[in-house]
Structure 1
């Protein structure tokens, strides 16, 4: 594994004798804390795993972010700790209640109860030319979701995509699923880097891409 390139606002700090990624912010999911710092668990965060595995995410800190598949806020709360305006799209009402709690202490975090497969429903809220689209949506057609939401991404922006093979097609080998998703993505993106997310997440692929 290569040494991860960390954005400003993300550091390696020691928690209970173990060095871990951390951001500054109020705790969200029972993670260990040390003063104002909170541990970032890569076993619960695809983006955290990408950073741990050394993928060059291009994140520097302060970016405008569109986060697709925010769930209850585990990862997007860490993102909002170091990023700029962070739009958090989640389809299910129950986790959005937890997401709202995470946003209480994060003025730059904007929860949206919307379907990431229908970006037209939040196009009036999300600013154009966001710096980063982060996607963790467990559904069929994950490449299509990324392509449809490419409308929000700046020309020099980045897509950080976590592909879940079993959500795409449970009957196929993950390697075949990942290859198909990469081929579909090529309609609108150039893949810069891709890496399996083991040992943190089984049958997941992390992709860093930019618009064509």
Structure 2
């Protein structure tokens, strides 16, 4: 498996340990080396997907719709190497931290919206985005991906981190993952899946493209 990283993401040494890194102002106390900031895959599902060498299709400079931006830990890294990055977060408290992360990132656009209701931000987000990154802790994660597919370019990518315990805490995660993948097939072709257990318990990384 090849190490496919977008432009603007590198593997660099921090205190003798090789880490993913992007250029930008620090956000959450991460180690820095000059203008580079370490990207912790234990705090980022997308970072875990990169560290596990999943082929995300990201090359750098893409327009991104990020669903479930929380306080900006991961989406700040995305905005370091991507183009316009729309960051959707529903909870007001983490959204305040997200706004702070955006202050030094002119390409990062925080939206205090619910990813389950894309009609509430359809007037803001441009059509034909290159990538949807989804990391939401809710039931119906496949439905969120399907309803937001309206923003995705025909040759775009969905990078989805499925949280099994958010779907159903009582079921076996493998069964949950199967159900989510089956539901996604209503609108997506799944290109790659990989368990993120090395970094995130009961999570599955999915790369897909619209049908």
Matches within 5 A, 1:68-87: 68-87=67-86
Secondary structure, counterpart of 2:93 in structure 1: helix
Structure 2 stretches of 5 or more lacking a match?
Answer: none
- d(CA) in 2 for partners of 1:19 and 1:144? 37
Report the counterpart of residue 94 of structure 2 in structure 1: 95
Match of 1:41 in 2: 40
How many residues align? The count is: 211
Structure-1 residue corresponding to 2:154: 155
Equivalent-residue separation in structure 2 for 1:200 and 1:10 (angstroms): 19
* CA–CA distance in structure 2, aligned partners of residues 29 and 50 of structure 1: 20
C-alpha displacement at 1:176, in angstroms? 0.1
Question: 1:186 and 2:185 equivalent?
Answer: yes
Q: Give the Cα–Cα distance (whole angstroms) in 1 for the partners of residues 93 and 3 of structure 2.
A: 34
Q: Partner of 2:86: helix, strand, or coil?
A: strand
- Determine the C-alpha separation between the residues in 2 that align with 1:142 and 1:166: 11
Give the equivalent residue in structure 2 for 1:196.
195
SS, match of residue 88 in structure 1: strand
Structure 2 CA distance for aligned equivalents of residues 74 and 83 of structure 1: 15
- Consecutive unaligned residues of structure 1, counting only runs of 5 or more, are none
Distance apart, 1:3 and its partner CA: 3.9
Query: Equivalent residue of 1:29, what SS?
Result: coil
Q: Please list the CA deviations of residues 58-95 of structure 1 after superposition, one character each: whole Å capped at 9, or x if unmatched.
A: 00000000000000000000000000000000000000
Aligned partner of 1:64 in structure 2 is 63
SS of 1:31 mapped into structure 2: coil
Q: Distance in 1 between matches of 2:106 and 2:14?
A: 27
Cα offset, 1:120, TM superposition:
0.1
Give 1:198 shift. 1.4
SS of structure 2 residue aligned to 1:6 = coil
CA distance in 1 between counterparts of 2:206 and 2:187 reads 14
